[in-house]
Amino acid sequence: MEPDISRRGNAVLLKGLIRDASAIRRICACLHQTISQRGFSDVVLDFSECEAVTEAAMLPVIPQIVRYQEDEGILFRLTPPRRSDLYRLFANANWSHFIQPDRFDPTPTSASHIPTRRYKSEAEAYTLLDEVLRFVTRGRSVGPDTLRAVEWSLNEIMDNVLTHAETDAGGFVQATVYETRIEFVVADSGVGVPASLGLRDHQFALRKAVLEGQTRNSVSYAGNGLFGTFELARVSGGQFEIHSQNAYLYYDSLRDESSSRRVSVPLNGTSVRCAIGPRDASLLSRALRFHGRAHEPLYDYMERTFGTEGGEMVFAVKEHAAGDLGSRRGGQRVRHVLENMLSEQEHVILDFSGVSIISSSFADEVFGRLFAELGPRSFMSRIVLRNVDPTIDGLIDRAIVQRTRLTEQQNR
């Protein structure tokens, strides 16, 4: 079912599948007609009959809604989807909150995605970047190059908003971890890429923006943020999409599809969606090449979060896993972090200072499974436990024994 987006009075009606580039522009057109042409200051967004909604279609629209709210005093009212799963999605993704903040409270990070977050300063961007990376490392084992790729590209695109968008409204970010990719969307309601590059042809501006060294001020800026992000998506087998003003550019490496188009309805600002594919041990050296040389990012989330001055990687259990110690799901999140640490370091130290109890299911999910995964010799040399309470030590030993027996039975 294709998107059916129309307006009736002060209501914008959104039906069917709201998930692609055409949906973004149709929503923008209906908002412009309802507010700027018809003069309504009270707008209803009716999603009651929509069948599917994606962050790729929704997040570019959120800054437009917030701009109308804050700059023009427009009041938006949301009619949520009738389908219970989509109702929850709107709430969990914070779309409901940004559309009608007086009715819907903001939602914290969930197990499957970072809901839409807003940032307006470098400090807020830095905090949000770390929140996304913490979420990614707890969601799955991704490999060091993939994690650094997400860190570098998201940091660059978020910084572009603060540096080039010329808007006090800041930027909006949403991130999701899928089985085969890590995806984020960054959107704003600023001046847009064409104006930032000083180009009148909007389609040409987007095509030029993903080339190396494109900036209006080569003295202060390298102009490689969009280029590097595009290359990381391309080389990793992912996707890249950018909307700005009267053009958009799309690339899908899995389908070997690429397109750029001029469109009649503008998106006032910029939206970038990047999907980085699965583990790739050489992703950075192949994708981030500036002036013919491989670029090594200077910052590293894992090192600054878990690294010590002595070069060790220490997972402080009380600090990083306080809310996870009582469940198997919490153990799964911690195990993913440890797997990501082990992909970078020969051994990892778990410091149990201040921790007096863990559940048996947590012990099995972390230590039982890591023992089975690494093998006895590798586990003993690579997993170092410090300051462990005797009760916890006993739970860990029992979990390893039980997991070993279960593995032996399954292999018979």
Q: Give pLDDT tens digits for 183-220.
A: 999 999 999 999 999 999 999 999 999 988 655 444 33
User: For the chain, what is the total number of helices (H) and then of strands (E)?
Assistant: 18, 15
369 Cβ contact list (under 8 Å, min separation 6) = 335, 403
Q: What average pLDDT does range 254-274 have in this prediction?
A: 91
Q: Which domains does the chain have, with CATH numbers?
A: 1-104 (3.30.750.24), 108-298 (3.30.565.10), 301-411 (no CATH)
Q: What tokens were used for 86?
A: 């989509």
Q: Is the pLDDT of residue 297 over 80?
A: no
What pLDDT does residue 122 have?
A: 96
Scanning 192-350, the segments in alpha helix (DSSP H) are 193-197, 202-209, 225-235, 283-287, 301-306, 317-320, 328-342
Cα gap 114→176, rounded to integer Å:
6
Burial status of residue 287 (CB atoms within 10 A of its CB: 0-12, 13-18, 19 or more): buried
What pLDDT does residue 71 have?
A: 95
H or E segment to which residue 147 belongs: helix 144-164
Q: What is the reported pTM?
A: 0.91
Give the least confident one: 116-120, 139-143, 292-296, 344-348.
292-296
Q: What average pLDDT does range 233-246 have in this prediction?
A: 95
Torsion of CA 260, 264, 269, 275, to 10 degrees: -30
What pLDDT does residue 408 have?
A: 78
99 Cβ contact list (under 8 Å, min separation 6) = 45, 62, 65, 76, 78
Q: What tokens were used for 352?
A: 């149990």
Q: What tokens were used for 362?
A: 């947590």
Closest CA to 148 of 292, 286, 347: 286
What pLDDT does residue 346 have?
A: 92
- Residue 21 identity (one-letter amino acid): A
Q: Is the pLDDT of residue 340 over 70?
A: yes
Q: Is the pLDDT of residue 222 over 70?
A: no
What pLDDT does residue 1 have?
A: 58
The per-residue pLDDT of the chain, averaged, comes to 91
Tell which phi-psi region holds residue 347, choosing left (phi > 0), alpha (psi between -120 and 50) or beta.
Answer: beta
- Residue 177 identity (one-letter amino acid): V
Scanning 236-374, the segments in alpha helix (DSSP H) are 283-287, 301-306, 317-320, 328-342, 360-363, 369-374
Cα gap 297→331, rounded to integer Å:
31
Q: What tokens were used for 400?
A: 């390893």
132 Cβ contact list (under 8 Å, min separation 6) = 114, 150, 154, 173, 175, 184
Q: What average pLDDT does range 175-186 have in this prediction?
A: 92
Cα angle 408, 138, 303 (rounded to 5 degrees) comes to: 110
Q: What average pLDDT does range 294-312 have in this prediction?
A: 83
Q: Give pLDDT tens digits for 7-59.
A: 999 999 999 999 888 899 999 999 999 999 999 999 999 999 999 999 999 99
Q: Is 406 helix (H, G, I), strand (E, B) or coil?
A: helix
